[in-house]
């Protein structure tokens, strides 16, 4: 069955440090992949998405993600984390043949001052 895995439940980084959040998907064809961020008590904001083309995708707030078919991964990166980046991050894939999403379990990012 199609699935999205975020191996890290919690990640803590110092402000100014680089960040990489992992996301793995299981799907035979090229999936439609998304990263969303959720601040406490808020809805989800789209950071970036990948459908096809250039495998390095630029998003908002200085985030980028790289699609690697060989590793079935779509990891999210940011070169220098800001305290305001502390939030929950969700990776999602569009379910094959539908417009429904499959969400990963989320990674909670904590940023140390």
Q: Which stretches of the chain bind another protein, using CB under 8 A? A: 32, 34, 36, 41-46, 49, 51, 90, 94, 99-101, 103-106, 108
Minimal distance, residue 18 CB to another protein, in Å: 25
Strands 101-103 and 73-78: unpaired
**In the complex, what is the shortest distance from the CB of residue 61 to another protein, in angstroms, rounded to a whole number?**
16
Find the shortest distance in angstroms from Cβ 44 to another protein: 4
> Cα–Cα distance between 58 and 79 in angstroms, integer?
12
């Amino acid at each position: 069955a199609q699935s999205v895995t975020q191996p890290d439940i919690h990640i803590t980084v110092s402000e100014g440090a680089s960040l990489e959040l992992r996301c793995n998907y299981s799907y035979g064809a090229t999936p439609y992949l998304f990263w969303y961020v959720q601040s406490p008590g808020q809805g989800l904001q789209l950071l970036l998405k990948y459908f096809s083309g250039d495998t390095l995708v630029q998003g908002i707030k200085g985030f980028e993600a790289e699609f690697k078919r060989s590793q079935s991964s779509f990891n999210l990166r940011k070169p220098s984390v800001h305290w305001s980046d502390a939030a929950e991050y969700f990776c999602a894939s569009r379910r094959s043949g539908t417009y429904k999403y499959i969400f990963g379990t989320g990674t909670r990012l904590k940023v140390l001052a």
